Structure 1
Amino acid sequence: MAGKSDKIKANEHVLFYYNRTKKWLVKITKNAKLHTHIGIISHADAIGKEYGSRLTTNKDKYVYLLRPTTYDYTMKLQHSTQIVYPKESGYMASRMGIQSGQTIVEIGTGSGALTTFLASIVKPRGRVHTFDVDADFMAIAEKNIARAGMTKYVIMNKMDIRKSRTVPVADADAAVIDLGDPWTALPQVRRMLKGSAPMVAVCPTMNQLEKLVSELVANEFTDIECSEQILRQIEAREGKTRHSFQGIGHTAYLCFARKAYFGTKRRRTAKDPD
């Protein structure tokens, strides 16, 4: 028998799932109604039901009441910028070995999609320190992060870390750079990372990759890998399984590297005095 934690309560988020392309992520309130092409869904009817149950609309269609995952929050968040999709973020986390309890640095908060994903991994003792210069973008990201319940695991910083003489994070376990010119942040990112710690930069074009790789070598990073993640879904139906005509193709290139020491003289870190 399901416990109380499996029952839907007011002010919780629920994914109303009709099919793969028709689903709605909503915050349940007693008097609200969701009007859709398959009928009206009353929020009050969901309260007290178990996650996984289904509701019938006034048009005799039904939706399943699903507990949202980090993937659902990511795909349904408000976009202020191009987001990092789960097909990239999952590989990023695996390639960099992101774990619970780690300290992660993110340069370029954007809409907070990747911030939310990283926070969901490093919680409860780890933290994501994210930096951005656009107050409007950060306000949207803050709402998206809060919606997914990750606020307490994220430290937001409005500052241009590229121009800062000091850095507020030391001995970070990993770093992410999501800027149009990621190489400009490499010196400061290097100062915040532990030795051998991994980083990844998100690049829309191959020209950016070329310049970035040169700068990574100049800033003493090694284990450099550039890749692209392509996701193709399959329409699996008895007797007529085929590739989907819809899919997510190219969204970004990823460039991974790890902090190293090329010479005998140790480089400065965030803990070193100016």
Structure 2
Amino acid sequence: KAVLLDVKKRRYLIDLADDGEFHSHAGFVRHADIIGQPEGCRVRSTKSAEYIVLRPTLEDFVIEMPRGAQVIYPKDLAPICMLADIGPGMRVFESGVGSGALSTMMLRYGAHITGYEIREDFANRAKANVRGFLGEEALERYDVHIASSYDGIDAAHGTFDRVVLDLPEPWQVVPHAEFALRPGGILLAYTPSITQAAQVRETMKGKWIDARTIEVLHRGWHIEGQAVRPDHRMVAHTGFLSVARFLGKGRTDAAG
């Protein structure tokens, strides 16, 4: 994969092929002119448009990746992995895999994921995106099932260290997670609305501790010489992250 960056800082994600071509309103660039060149090289289209060629970062890939479902954006992906403490060898149950942006992030951190997705086209897209960025070997740690977590989490999957949910009604999954998570495990739910987050938190009362809900705001800054100011636009609300730790079956938090 490569990213072409034009003079207006627009990014174009492409899959290089020996006989491939990148076409735009500014003409086309032959992939053969890119393959074998060092990262950061410059190429010109048939209409003399200049592009800088880079290897895509995960942020580039998430923003430009083929998608079916709406993706979780980079400003939330990193906090999710930090709050859920995703790391090498973690067994993660993910429900609502969508286009695979969060899956790709967690797999890159070294997790092993069992995913539930109700739509087969979304599941196939997620696996294709994981393969496209991380390679075929990543699929060995990515087991996606066409199933609804609202109906339960199959005990045959074993016990999980983490549960990560991107669903319209994640509170329906919290009781099932209590049978799937190990004591001390973490559940995180990503929800667009605060009423959804509140309902998740209400369901967590009892066997969960250290519950909190945050939202991440992203404000860029314009810096050009002595002209320094906040950007006129910012990426404000995208979703709420609600997280808590599981005490274990039969245990309760006296503080609720």
Structures share a fold, TM > 0.5? Answer: yes
User: 1:89: which partner in 2?
Assistant: 77
Over the matched positions of the two proteins, sequence identity in percent amounts to 23
| 2:223 pairs with 1:233 | no
1:223 to 182, 207, 210: 210
The answer to whether the 8 A contact 2:182-2:248 is kept is: no
Matching residue within 219, 226, 231 for 1:244: 231
Change (3 A) 1:236 1:19: farther
Letter matched to residue 118 of structure 2: V
Alpha-carbon distance in 2 for matches of 1:20, 1:98: 36
Q: Corresponding residue for 1:131?
A: 116
Partner of 1:207: 195
The answer on whether the counterparts of 2:153 and 2:177 sit within 8 Å (CA) in structure 1 is no
Structure 2 residue aligned with 1:68, among 53, 56, 59?
A: 56
Instruction: Return closer, same or farther for 1:118/1:19 CA change in 2, 3 Å cut-off.
Output: farther
Aligned-partner SS, 2:224: coil
Task: Determine which of 10, 18, 21 is the counterpart of 1:33.
Answer: 21
**Residue 140 (structure 2) pairs with residue 152 (structure 1):** yes
Please identify runs of 4+ aligned residues in structure 1 that moved more than 6 A. none
Equivalenced residue count is 249
Q: Could you tell me which residue of structure 1 aligns to residue 177 of structure 2?
A: 189
Matched residues in 2 for 1:72 and 1:208: separation? 29
Counterpart in the other structure of 2:101:
113
Contact 1:174 1:198 in 2 (8 A): yes
Residue 33 of structure 2 is aligned to residue 45 of structure 1: yes
> Structure 1 counterpart of 2:42, which letter?
R
- What CA RMSD, in Å, does the superposition of the two structures yield over aligned residues? 2.0
Secondary structure of 2:155's counterpart equals coil
Quick one: structure 1 residues 152 and 165, their matched pair in 2 at CA, closer, same or farther if it must change by over 3 Å? closer
Q: Which residue identity lines up with residue 236 of structure 1 in the other structure?
A: I
Task: Compare 106-115 and 79-88 and name the one that shifted more.
Answer: 79-88
- Kept in 2, the 8 Å contact 1:161–1:167? The answer is no
**TM-score for the superposition, normalised by structure 2:** 0.89
Deviation at 1:71, TM superposition (A): 1.6
* TM-score normalised by structure 1 residue count: 0.84
**Retained in 2: the 8 A contact 1:170–1:193?**
no
Please tell me the residue identity of whatever aligns with 1:110: G
More strand by share: 2
Unaligned 5+ runs, structure 2:
none
SS of structure 1 residue aligned to 2:178: helix
Q: Is the 8 A contact 1:109 1:138 kept in 2?
A: yes
Determine the structure 1 residue equivalent to 2:240.
253
Measured after TM superposition, the shift of residue 251 of structure 1 is: 0.8
